[in-house]
Amino acid sequence: MTAEERLAMEPGVGVALDEREPYPPGDLAIWIFILAELLVFGIFFAAYAFTRLNHVELFNHYQLTLDRNAALVNTLALLTSSYFVIRGVVAAREGNNRLCARWTWAAVAMGGVFLAVKTTEYAHHIGAGVNLSTNEFYMFYLSLTFFHFMHVILGMVILAAVALKAGRGGYSEDDHTGVETGASYWHMVDLVWLILFPLVYVMR
């Protein structure tokens, strides 16, 4: 396989207008699911911003109690996991199941880093007596991040299933929709966090 052919295996590459696909990579059903998820998160984000409108001082004050360093580590963990997932997709498109499994397991591990860091954050806040009823800011912080936390867990389960199947040689150059489907879901989880991070931890 030439360098150009390998390059064309990457998502987003090979984009001459007449070469573009009618549908995104992966099963179309996952994209309907992704759109529904994005809608819910979008409403959540707007609700946060408009609730803040009437409690600016409170939101700005309690935002300072959040651990931005932990949020940075988590953002980098999700970005890195998304990168590993892409490498897994490229490997699957090349028919290299073994490599696909390795990259995908690495992505799952980075998801584990995210969960570990986030759990530490929750333990700190809950240990300090914070709960959903403490105030409007913490209500949004806990519910929004925990909703996302659950999506990370689901994404890791999906990626683990992909990695297991790849490990058994279950994909080929012609049949790797399952890898692309899992990857699309995981990128959505990453995408949502990329808005959540600045909105909740930085913007004030």
Partner 1 sequence: MNTTGTARRLIRPCTLVYLVLVLLTVATWAVGTAGLGGLPVSLLVLAVALLKGHLIGDWFMGLRSVRGIWRWVVAIWLLIPGGLISIAFVLSDRG
- Give whichever of 72 and 131 is closer to partner 1, judged by the CB atom: 72
Among 27, 31, 33, 136, binds partner 1 (CB under 8 A): 31
Q: Is 45 exposed, middle or buried (0-12, 13-18, 19+ CB in 10 A)?
A: middle
Distances 194 to 61, 101, 111, 165 between C-alpha atoms, Å: 22, 26, 15, 29
CA gap 96, 98 in Å, rounded: 6
Q: Min. distance of Cβ 62 from partner 1 in angstroms?
A: 14
- Give whichever of 160 and 199 is closer to partner 1, judged by the CB atom: 199
Q: By C-alpha distance, which of 27, 182, 30, 170 is closest to 104?
A: 182
Listed in sequence order, the residues at least 6 apart from 104 whose beta carbon sits closer than 8 Å to its beta carbon are 84, 85, 88, 159, 162, 163, 166, 179, 182
Q: Min. distance of Cβ 160 from partner 1 in angstroms?
A: 19
Q: Min. distance of Cβ 70 from partner 1 in angstroms?
A: 11
Is position 23 an interface residue for partner 1 (rule: CB under 8 A)? yes
**Residues within window 118-177 making contact with partner 1, judged by CB under 8 A:** none
Q: Is 204 exposed, middle or buried (0-12, 13-18, 19+ CB in 10 A)?
A: exposed
- Give whichever of 123 and 195 is closer to partner 1, judged by the CB atom: 195
Which residues contact partner 1 (rule: CB under 8 A)?
2-4, 7, 10-15, 17, 19-25, 31, 35, 38-39, 41-43, 45-46, 49-50, 52-53, 56, 60, 68-69, 71-72, 75-76, 79-80, 82-83, 85-87, 90, 180, 184, 187-188, 190-191, 194-195, 197-199, 201-204
